[in-house]
Amino acid sequence: MSLANNLREYVAACFTGLWIQSHEYEDALAEIAQLCRDEDWRLATWDVAQGLQVAGLQVADPQASEQNGMGESDARDPLSAIRSINALATPTGTALLVLTNFHRFLNSAEIVQT
């Protein structure tokens, strides 16, 4: 079964968090992005270098700051990225937040608590 099919099933089953390990993270992210376009899901990605990126928005834009609850200065903060997921979701829609290389932050008490 492909990553997209597995992810579609997990989302349908209301999984709130998944760990995907891949040596080809760009390919995995491309497959996730295509799935989000196909299913009309909202997608945001975060990594320490680029910060939070929301498909179709720039985080520094006023519209993005209003919709995501964060400005450009918060975009690189891993804790702010996690907290932004509520602002990304809609009552009837699905939002995915992909945290690339996030394993480096998993020992943080703030991250675990959030």
Output the pLDDT for position 77. 86
β-strand 95-99 against 42-47: which pairing, if any?
A: parallel
Output the pLDDT for position 62. 46
CA distance 23 to 80: 26
Give the domain range for residue 69.
3-113
Confidence band, pLDDT 50/70/90 cuts, at residue 102: confident
Output the pLDDT for position 106. 80
Over residues 23-40, the pLDDT tens digits come to 999 999 999 999 999 999
Confidence band, pLDDT 50/70/90 cuts, at residue 114: confident
Confidence band, pLDDT 50/70/90 cuts, at residue 72: low
Across 62-70, average pLDDT? 49
Backbone phi and psi for residue 53, each to the nearest 5 degrees, phi listed first: -125, 125
Q: E strands within 1-114? A: 42-47, 51-54, 95-99
Instruction: Please give the model's pTM, rounded to 2 decimal places.
Output: 0.77
CA distance 65 to 95: 17
Query: In which residue are the tokens 């394993």 written?
Result: 103
Count of domains for the chain: 1
Instruction: At 84, list the tokens.
Output: 């932004």
